[in-house]
Amino acid sequence: MARESLGEFEQLVMLAILRLGEDVYGVPVVEEIERRTGRGVSRAAVYIALRRLENKGLVSSHMADPTPERGGRAKRFFRVEPDGIDLLRDSRLALLSMWQDLEPVLGGR
């Protein structure tokens, strides 16, 4: 059976979590993706991707204690699981393999 692959946005979300450290919530993930890619990202899209990744077992989450700053609401924190890291590595290797030797075709830009 073929191993599951990651979409570009799923990769961006997981890479943002890894860059920000363990136990990060959605808003910093949005900000990190926007800062590094220069493109706008909606919170909803990130939370949908996080739910999908969690359903696949690639990320996990837990609720933190409620804080007064948030009006007593708790934050959901996410972390990338070992299977998620393995799949990111596989995706990176597949992309590098596909890009290999294409500079002449792309014009070297």
3-state secondary structure of 109: coil
List, run by run, the mean pLDDT of 10-residue segments along the chain (109 residues). 78 97 92 97 96 96 79 87 96 91 79
Q: How many domains does the chain have?
A: 1
pLDDT of residue 71: 67
Closest among 4, 25, 31, 9 to 79, alpha carbons compared: 25
The pTM for the full model equals 0.86
3-state secondary structure of 78: strand
* Structural domain contains residue 56: yes
Q: Domain of 26: which CATH number?
A: 1.10.10.10
Domain that holds residue 46: 8-98
